Amino acid sequence: MRKLLLVALLVMGLAACARPAPDTLKIGSKPFPESELLADMLAILAQERGIPVTRIGNLGGTKITFDALKSGSIDVYPEYTGTGLMEILQQAATNDPNEALELVRQGFLKAYDIEWLEPLGFNNTYALAMKTAEMKALGIRTISQLAPKSGGLIFGCSHEFYDRPDGYPGLVEFYGLHFKKVERLQHGLAYQALLQDKIDLTDVYSTDGRLDPETMTVLVDDRHFFPPYYAAPVARREALLRFPAAREALNALAGRIDDPTMQRLNRQVEVEKVPSKEVALNFLRKQGLVRGEAGALQTGRGGDVAQVLWARRGEIAVLVGQHLALTGVAMGLAIAVGIPLGIVISRSVRLAAPVLVAAGVLQTIPSIALLAFMIPYLGLGAKPAIAALFLYALLPVLRNTYTGIRGVDPALVEVGLGMGLRARQILTLVEIPLAMPVIMAGIRTAAVISIGTATLAAWIGAGGLGDPIVTGLTRNDVPTILTGAIPAAVLAVVVDLALGGLERLVTPRTG
Amino acid sequence: MIALEGVWKEFPAPRGSERPAQRAVDDVSFTVPAGETLCLIGTSGCGKTTTLKMINRLVEPSGGRILINGSDTAASDRIALRRGIGYVIQKIGLLPHRTVAENIALLPRLEGWDASRLRARTDELLDMVGLRGYGGRYPAELSGGQQQRVGVARALALDPPILLMDEPFGALDPITRESLQDEFVRLKEVFKKTIVMVTHDLQEAFKLGDRVALMEQGRMVQIGAESDFRARPASPFVEDFLRAHLAHPTLSAIPALSAVARDARPSDDAPTLPRDATMKQAMDLFFRYPAATTLALVDENGTAVGAVTRESLLQAV
């Protein structure tokens, strides 16, 4: 018992020491390659101008990333005008790119004190793609030109596009399209289907890296049906004041990346598996925005899983360390709170029911949602992750302590009282030792759950073994996913076994 | 000396129940002089256990006074009071994660005794209850009777002048119970403790108690020695109670011959008993020879006339 508390306190102490970081410009990104790549470029440009930078990647989607920006957990990230207008400001779409930019500029400044810097140039919106050869055969370049020929064509339509009012239904009406047939299919399969002539055209993102420029071409949206999604850095005004050189650095890319360029860069990351930072640096060098050889570069990723695991062993060791720190601190807190609370509620049935129900409800909140809820209060990184993991670990520890203590033979308590033991002595000499196997089982359960759930902490920038999993998922890169998933699984097994050993050690013998 | 003066206990009625609060114990008074054993007897729910638990304040009386050697227990420190009173219950309550010796030494250790004194006291008590050499075992490795011997030894560890026992032999099989009762009588003479024991077995009460107090519905019906009960039952209720509870002849009144196993022959090395021995004597013999599976009943010439097995004896009981 005392040993457990000691370990818990130790872990918490270490975590407390590991904090204070110097002020940096915190550059975030959403969990897909284009966002990562742009953020990497912004980070390199800022560093070139002597601004200390922290790069926080793989944030879990628009809500989490924008919440992080609002709360100051990050200072900058690349956003799209369409997303800013419709998802964040909840305003109606507009087809005019300049109007959209103006609307988000004013809206963000007013509502959030956040600035839209200069757009980078490209527009990552929906588009229709065809095989280049077929387009030439039909003699068309634009969607307007497509309309009269559409009666003979099969449209491979992604599920999402089919259902959105600004997708298929609006499109066919706007341009007067009448396809021979509409084939609904998974986005990832559409490219394959197009190359195999199963379909004639499909909806794509205009800068998608999987769009092969050798064989496919995007039809020009000549009447501007699709809402504009121009990319630009969004930054907290306060951060631009904190780092006076930041504005110029972040605006250095203004207008320099057009659609085909962005598409080509995405392709390097997504298809050719070149590391994002390397693609970013090479591009900036060619643009003359970075001199010399800034930053050491690693190359030659890929290969089979064993090779990848071995090649990245140093990186994995660091991630395992982060992972253990996250779960260790959360477990320490859960033990420090759960065991005393479990003892208290074992004394009062009236208290037990609401406390256990509350802990149970916490358990049912989806992990990603719980992590997202934490950001406004605790920002990004380890703190909200630990808080969420703590809440998940609490129930098993709490409930098993309660059950374990309640399960102690009442005759033992009665005879203990009768012979003149104090309440404290009954707790330490009788109840806790006898409840120990059950309490330890709860701690084991909590630890294994925590190690699994902690992989999700990467979505809010807490690091750990979830980092390669998230990165791999966004790039469809299985070896990278496995460099996180395999060590996480091994870690869960090892920790479970170790705690099993500890359980045998602290379980009193009875024969 | 223990004295109860007009003690009563009222438990609040269960919430939402129509019934008024119930008096579990109603105006009970008695005195147990030092060195005497009083057995509290009565049907279940008569208030005998509540009465017992009020003496060490596991249950606080609603009214009346309980005096120990003249001082009111209500004014004493509960922990100190309890450490001066040995407590033995039917379920024994040995700590399963502590050895026999650790169980016995629990209170002395908390009282800060040093190791050599602890060891000496533990050995002494183990000797006394016939479990020398069992100190290193765990309770689960002991039989029920052995566990209760440890329970008694633990209660005596601080040498308290008073012992409270709540059906201490109630969970044991008849053979073990009988032998522990005999041992209790022996120890009682040696230690001269003041003892209050709860039992529902009138034979046990008469055998172990210097006096017996019969309770019914929270009230004391009669208190006195066995002869008083037999000669002058205080009420028709007492008469009925005696008749019902003394209907079975005691083990020492039944011949061992009635427990002979029809299909068994005594082994050559079987312990022997005279053919007119009682069942009680047969039980005692089995206790003395734990390895024996049969007993031989022999006539004056030493010729076996029948075999008693443990099973046949238990069946006859």
Do A434 and A466 lie in one domain? The reply is yes
| Confidence label for A6 from pLDDT (cuts 50, 70 and 90) | low
**Among A414, A420, A510, whose Cβ lies nearest the Cβ of B89?**
A414
- Please give the pLDDT value at position B293: 82
Do A424 and A467 lie in one domain? The reply is yes
**Among A414, A415, A511, whose Cβ lies nearest the Cβ of B140?**
A511
**Could you tell me if residue A459 is inside a domain?**
yes
- Of A218, A247, A272, the one marking the end of a domain is A218
Number of domains within chain A: 3
Do A316 and A416 lie in one domain? The reply is yes
**How confident is the model over A179-238, as pLDDT tens digits?**
999 988 877 678 888 888 889 999 988 898 888 878 888 898 898 888 899 999 999 999
The structure tokens 């005008």 sit at A81
CA of B57, closest CA in chain A: separation in Å? 8
Q: Which residue has the higher pLDDT, A493 or B255?
A: A493
Closest CA to B49 of A233, A371, B58: B58
Q: Which residues of B touch A434 (CB under 8 A)?
A: 95-97
d(CA A368, CA A372): 6
The structure tokens 């995007």 sit at A218
Closest CA to A385 of A317, A466, A446: A466
CA of B239, closest CA in chain A: separation in Å? 35
Do A38 and A161 lie in one domain? The reply is no
Q: For position A350, which CATH number holds?
A: 1.10.3720.10
DSSP state of A123: B
CA of A505, closest CA in chain B: separation in Å? 13
Containing domain of residue A427, as a range? 311-506
Contact A248, A49 (CB under 8 A): yes
Do A44 and A164 lie in one domain? The reply is no
**Percent of chain A scoring above 70 in pLDDT:** 92
Q: Give CA separation, B266 vs A334, B311, B314, in Å.
A: 66, 14, 17
First to last CA, chain B: 38
Contact A115, A135 (CB under 8 A): no
- Of A157, A183, A218, the one marking the end of a domain is A218
d(CA B62, CA B54): 10
- Please give the pLDDT value at position A19: 46
CA of A466, closest CA in chain B: separation in Å? 42
Do A369 and A486 lie in one domain? The reply is yes
A197-224 burial code (b ≥16 CB/10 A, e <16):
eebbbbbbbbbbbbbbeeebbbbebeee
| Contact yes or no for A418 and B56 at CB 8 A | yes
The answer for residues whose C-beta is within 8 angstroms of residue B290's C-beta and 6 or more apart is none
Do A260 and A178 lie in one domain? The reply is no
**How confident is the model over A55-96, as pLDDT tens digits?**
888 887 888 899 999 988 899 999 999 999 988 998 888 888
ipTM of the complex as predicted: 0.76
**Could you tell me if residue A7 is inside a domain?**
no
Do A208 and A258 lie in one domain? The reply is no
Do A373 and A500 lie in one domain? The reply is yes
Q: For position A241, which CATH number holds?
A: 3.40.190.10
**Could you tell me if residue A11 is inside a domain?**
no
| Contact yes or no for B140 and A409 at CB 8 A | no
| Confidence label for A5 from pLDDT (cuts 50, 70 and 90) | low
Do A293 and A353 lie in one domain? The reply is no
Which has the minimum average pLDDT: A267-276, A411-420, B27-36, B281-290? B281-290
- Please give the pLDDT value at position A294: 46
Average pLDDT on B122-145 reads 93
**Percent of chain B scoring above 70 in pLDDT:** 97
**Could you tell me if residue A16 is inside a domain?**
no
Q: Which residues of B touch A423 (CB under 8 A)?
A: none
**Among B85, B97, B138, whose Cβ lies nearest the Cβ of A434?**
B97
If you count DSSP H runs as helices and E runs as strands, how many of each does chain A have, helices first? Answer: 24, 10
Q: Which residues of B touch A (CB under 8 A)?
A: 53, 56, 58, 78-83, 85-87, 89, 91-93, 95-98, 106-107, 110, 138-141, 154-155, 164
Do A407 and A315 lie in one domain? The reply is yes
DSSP state of B142: S
**How confident is the model over A403-423, as pLDDT tens digits?**
999 999 999 999 999 999 999
Average pLDDT on A45-49 reads 90
**Could you tell me if residue A456 is inside a domain?**
yes
Q: Which residues of A touch B60 (CB under 8 A)?
A: none
Q: Which residues of B touch A505 (CB under 8 A)?
A: none
- Of A301, A326, A353, the one marking the end of a domain is A301
| Confidence label for B110 from pLDDT (cuts 50, 70 and 90) | very high
Query: A with B: how many residue pairs have Cβ under 8 Å apart?
Result: 65
| Confidence label for A298 from pLDDT (cuts 50, 70 and 90) | very low
Under DSSP, is residue A54 helix (H, G, I), strand (E, B) or coil?
Answer: strand
| Phi, psi angle pair for A314, to nearest 5° | -65, -45
**Could you tell me if residue A14 is inside a domain?**
no
**Could you tell me if residue A335 is inside a domain?**
yes
Q: Which residues of B touch A427 (CB under 8 A)?
A: none
Do A139 and A286 lie in one domain? The reply is no
Q: Residue A55: in which H helix or E strand, if any?
A: strand A53-56
